[in-house]
Chains A and B, each alone.
Chain A
Amino acid sequence: MSKSQKIRKVSFEVLRYDPDQDSEPYFQTYEVPCQDEWVILDAINYIKDELDRSLSYRWSCHMAVCGSCGLMINGEPKLSCHAFIRDMPDHIRVEPMDNFPIIRDLVVEMDGFVEKLADVKPYIHPKEERSIDDGCHTQSPEQLLDFQSLTQCINCMLCYSACPQVALNKDFIGPAAMALAHRYNLDSRDQGREVRKDVIASNKAIWECTFVGACSEVCPKHVDPAAAIQQAKIAATGDYFKSFLMPWTKKNKGNSEGEKS
């Protein structure tokens, strides 16, 4: 393999904001000599190391699994460690994620997001008492497949940046939180759907979603939260009708909506 170090000069327009000294955000431009295999994160690290030590941003794993580095790249929410410069033009605009308050430069406030995750009670509500000595639950590969794609969420929040409803309604619980709730509702070991219902089947959650589908388009892990939410809508509707058409089934907790197990 030959050494091919193609360097391309790319101009980065980066949003800057320091509440200590700036009255409002502004853009600052940097010229970066980019190597062919670089991702946006490599360029931003170059800016910080060589051009401007004062640039603040989040990153850690550089392999699209920790979810730290979400940014708006030319108006699209992307992970900066997974956005390849070779696919991009010579001028790139870098901004912090949409729909979140800006703390500093490219760093956004994410406590609201973490609270929304916690609101859906995203942990196993066990079906029965089970001690460690009883061993693991039995779960077939098919049962695992039912919810496996929903477990892939890295909490990167790109879906919140893409979702117009998140922009319009601050209380909207958002795609990732609902996908996470659905992940547990579909897990054969969980029976928490009743408990999550108040939060999920509300007008701050699934009924606020109008199925724009932008969340699933930007998700780097193909979690498909849009699908999860529509399935949750069907399940919630089913529950609603069942509750007054067949009130005797109220005590029964299904773990998949109308699905054959």
Chain B
Amino acid sequence: MDKKEQGQFGRRKVMKQSNGNYIRSTAKFSWYLKKPKYIPYMLRELSSLFVGVFCCFLVWGLYQLSQGEVVFNQWLNVLWNKLFWLNIVIFLFVFYHSYSWFMVTPKAMPIKFKGKRIPGWVIIAAHMIMWIVCSIVIFALFIYGA
């Protein structure tokens, strides 16, 4: 039994505090890379950035619309041709944003019906269905309008 072995797991993740205490902590900016399960969380947080970008796109698009049909169609062209991949990425992140938040919605909504808690999957399913229905309706309006 050897003392002071480095150990096959290598790095010691301890930090010395100013008062001399040792504290075990992963308080670095790369903390989320330490464990695979934190990555979905960080992606969820990152997705809100893209939601913000998308909102800007919408506002931008509204302004283009106000300038008339020609300008608007030119703008659509830019989105489709020059910014195609950016739009795909934004779409994926916005999708992931809705999906990941709907999956945790039951935690924030403890709804009771006749004295018993409604199971989490029911709440998630209800949100997903609403989402799909709204998406279909808006898409249909868009197609119909065009």
| A residues whose Cβ falls under 8 Å from a Cβ of B | 13, 15-17, 19, 24-30, 51-52, 72, 75, 91, 93, 95-102, 108-109, 142, 145, 164, 167-168, 210-214, 216-217, 224, 226-227, 230-231, 233-234, 259-260
- Given A29-B1, A101-B17, A213-B107, output 17 extra A-B contacts at Cβ < 8 Å: A13-B9, A17-B22, A26-B4, A27-B6, A27-B9, A29-B2, A29-B5, A30-B1, A52-B1, A72-B24, A100-B24, A102-B14, A211-B104, A214-B38, A226-B107, A227-B108, A259-B112
Point out the residue from A25, A29, A96, A109 that lies within 8 Å of B12, measured CB to CB.
A25
Point out the residue from B9, B20, B23 that lies within 8 Å of A100, measured CB to CB.
B23
B25 contacts A by Cβ under 8 Å = yes
| Among listed B27-35, B66-74, B123-131, interface-contacting one | B27-35
Contact A212 B4 (CB under 8 A): no
Q: Is the interface of A mostly helix, strand, loop or mixed?
A: mixed
* In the bound complex, CA of A16 to CA of B5 (Å): 11
* In the bound complex, CA of A124 to CA of B20 (Å): 39
| B residues whose Cβ falls under 8 Å from a Cβ of A | 1-9, 12, 14, 16-17, 20-27, 31-32, 35, 37-38, 41, 45, 104, 106-108, 110, 112, 115, 117
Contact B7 A29 (CB under 8 A): yes
Residues of A within 8 A of B8 (CB): 13, 91
Given known A27-B12, A51-B1, A211-B104, contact A95–B24 (CB-CB < 8 A) = yes
Closest CB-CB distance, A74 to chain B, in whole Å?
9
Contact A164 B26 (CB under 8 A): yes
* In the bound complex, CA of A224 to CA of B104 (Å): 12
Point out the residue from B22, B25, B107 that lies within 8 Å of A25, measured CB to CB.
B22
Point out the residue from B9, B23, B32, B117 that lies within 8 Å of A102, measured CB to CB.
B23
Given known A13-B9, A27-B12, A29-B5, contact A99–B107 (CB-CB < 8 A) = no
Point out the residue from B25, B37, B115 that lies within 8 Å of A98, measured CB to CB.
B25
Contact B21 A213 (CB under 8 A): no
Residue of B nearest to A103 (CB): B21
Given known A24-B16, A101-B17, A210-B45, contact A167–B26 (CB-CB < 8 A) = yes
Given known A27-B12, A213-B104, contact A101–B22 (CB-CB < 8 A) = yes
Residues of B within 8 A of A227 (CB): 106-108, 110
Closest CB-CB distance, B117 to chain A, in whole Å?
8
Point out the residue from B12, B24, B26, B112 that lies within 8 Å of A26, measured CB to CB.
B12
Residues of B within 8 A of A96 (CB): 24
Residues of B within 8 A of A210 (CB): 45
* In the bound complex, CA of A44 to CA of B4 (Å): 18
